[in-house]
């Protein structure tokens, strides 16, 4: 097949303007609060489990079926990367814009030093599930997971050594404040603490009825743990069962139970033994955000009590900022204002002002017309993402051509649901030069050009 020439490429300004507005609006909302971001079409049914931002703009997300997403513009565009695994990836930790480590099922550890263009598989020495990973610099990192396993590296993952945790309980999360001071939390109220890089882990457990899912320490002494209280037998109404927020100001020697009020528990307690699908991110001792089930709560003063729909930001209160349509799994703030929360069905929410204005979930508005965006990045090497939007379900064909109009690849040839979609083209096997891409929908074809520079 041969296309016409560059003059027939779609250059309609209004198409581009419409798509830009859609990208930045996400949901029906003002510029404040939480905004839902687009995800590539192939991950819109995938659970996203962990997120790590190293700057306001650069971050990584991992999830089910080997999913890895990367952004360099604060999530305006998320690019799906090749992980070379179908194992679920459950934790990710980035240390700079180029370097990150992801862990997951069957002891898998992935590592990149080039922003995710290539993810190398590292030897973990275990087949246990790894649930979380925390790096403090390019060399020093710790991963935790099933059966109490703790792995540690001092050379960026070239060698992972097993450390003694003193427990067989599953560890769900780990956070290191510096190379020496770290905390790991898990099932049956397990809290482990080290002050020497994991040479020795001290058990500081609380009630075994707690399932602890996430931890954040903004300083060596001040930390927040979130999880679920799983009292047996089940109490109905389940006021005693439900989400819990625990806080320490003495390095975990003692923990304050920041129990939600009963109205919040009644609305959040879905069953007697829900998984601890929770995340927490604190910037300092006072400022932090937690995700509990499908809700986002924020505090600017330490947070002692949790009140649903509260507008009072007095001493020690948590403010409900967002109610989404799916459960959240993870959250990460890069500063006081910029944060990203991820969850089920490819859900990504982002804020640039600390989520100050709470908003209820509204479905993303469908595009009103067929739109083809400029690929991003452009110029590129070796991969780029093509974004397009369709107003209704229908067959879509995405193709790539060389400058002579020769067809090189068919990226999509399927019935696609209405909405915004992305597809990745890897040009590793092609020479530098100008290329064209087309998207066909309902007998209409749009063209654009892109530049590969090696």
DSSP 214-283: EEE-SSSS-EEEEEEE--SSPPSS-SSSEEEEEEESSTTSS-EE-PBPHHHHHHH--SSS-----EEEES
Residue limits of CATH 2.130.10.10 in the chain? 29-360
Judge contact between 207 and 244, C-beta under 8 A.
no
Q: Are strands 210-216 and 120-122 parallel, antiparallel or unpaired?
A: unpaired
CATH hierarchy code of domain 29-360: 2.130.10.10
Look up residue 242 and give its two tokens. Answer: 């439900």
Residue limits of CATH 2.60.40.1930 in the chain? 6-16+370-452
Rg (alpha carbons) of the chain, rounded to whole number = 23
Judge contact between 49 and 90, C-beta under 8 A.
yes
In the prediction, which pLDDT does 241 show? 54
In terms of residues, how long is the chain?
454
| 6-16+370-452 placed in CATH 2.60.40.1930 | yes
Strand (E) positions, 95-217?
A: 100-104, 109-112, 120-122, 130-135, 141-145, 150-153, 161-163, 171-176, 182-186, 191-194, 202-203, 210-216
pTM of the model: 0.70
In the prediction, which pLDDT does 182 show? 97
Can you tell me the distance from the alpha carbon of 435 to that of 259, in angstroms, rounded to the nearest whole number? Answer: 58
Can you tell me the distance from the alpha carbon of 95 to that of 174, in angstroms, rounded to the nearest whole number? Answer: 15
* Close Cβ partners of 124 (under 8 Å, ≥ 6 residues apart): 103, 107, 108, 109, 130, 143, 151, 160
Report which secondary-structure segment, H or E, holds 174: strand 171-176
Residues of the chain short of pLDDT 50, as ranges, are 1-32, 232-240, 259-276, 306-316, 358-364
- Region for residue 136 given its phi and psi (left: phi exceeds 0; alpha: psi -120 to 50; beta: otherwise): alpha
């Amino acid at each position: 097949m041969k296309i016409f020439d560059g003059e027939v490429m779609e250059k309609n300004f209004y198409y581009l303007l419409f798509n830009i507005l859609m990208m930045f609006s996400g949901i029906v909302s003002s510029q404040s609060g939480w905004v839902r971001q687009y995800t590539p079409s192939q991950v819109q049914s995938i659970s996203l489990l962990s997120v790590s931002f190293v700057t306001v703009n650069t971050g990584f997300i991992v999830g089910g079926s080997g999913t890895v997403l990367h952004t360099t513009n604060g999530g305006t565009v998320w690019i799906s990367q090749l992980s070379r695994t179908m194992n679920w990836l459950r934790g990710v930790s980035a240390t700079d814009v180029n370097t990150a480590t992801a862990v997951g099922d069957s002891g898998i550890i992935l590592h990149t030093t080039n922003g995710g263009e290539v993810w190398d598989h590292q030897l973990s020495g275990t087949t246990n599930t790894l649930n979380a990973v925390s790096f403090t610099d390019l060399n020093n990192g710790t991963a935790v997971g099933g059966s109490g396993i703790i792995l540690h590296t001092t050379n960026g993952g070239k060698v992972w050594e097993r450390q003694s945790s003193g427990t067989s309980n599953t560890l769900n999360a780990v956070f290191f404040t510096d190379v020496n001071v770290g905390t790991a939390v898990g099932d049956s109220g397990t809290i482990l603490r080290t002050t020497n890089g994991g040479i020795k882990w001290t058990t500081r457990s609380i009630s075994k009825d707690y399932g602890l899912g996430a931890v954040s320490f903004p300083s060596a002494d001040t930390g927040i743990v979130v999880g679920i209280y799983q009292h047996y037998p089940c109490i109905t109404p389940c006021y005693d069962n439900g989400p819990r927020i625990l806080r320490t100001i003495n390095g975990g020697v003692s923990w304050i139970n920041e129990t939600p009020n009963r109205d919040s528990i009644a609305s959040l307690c879905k069953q007697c033994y829900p998984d601890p699908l929770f995340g927490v991110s604190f910037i300092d001792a006072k400022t932090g955000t937690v995700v509990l089930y499908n809700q986002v709560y924020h505090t600017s003063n330490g947070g002692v009590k949790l009140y649903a729909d509260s507008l009072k930001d007095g001493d020690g209160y948590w403010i409900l900022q967002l109610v989404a349509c799916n459960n959240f799994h993870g959250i990460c703030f890069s500063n006081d204002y910029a944060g990203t929360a991820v969850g089920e069905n490819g859900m990504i929410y982002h804020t640039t002002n600390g989520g100050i204005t709470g908003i209820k979930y509204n479905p993303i508005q469908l595009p009103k017309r067929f739109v083809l965006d400029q690929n991003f990045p452009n110029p590129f090497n070796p991969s780029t993402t093509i974004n397009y939007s369709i107003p209704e379900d229908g067959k879509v064909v995405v193709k790539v051509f060389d400058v002579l109009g020769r067809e090189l690849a068919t990226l999509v040839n399927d019935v696609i649901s209405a909405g915004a979609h992305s597809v990745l083209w890897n040009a590793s096997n092609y020479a530098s030069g100008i290329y064209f891409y087309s998207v066909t929908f309902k007998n209409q074809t749009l063209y654009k050009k892109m530049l590969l520079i090696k």
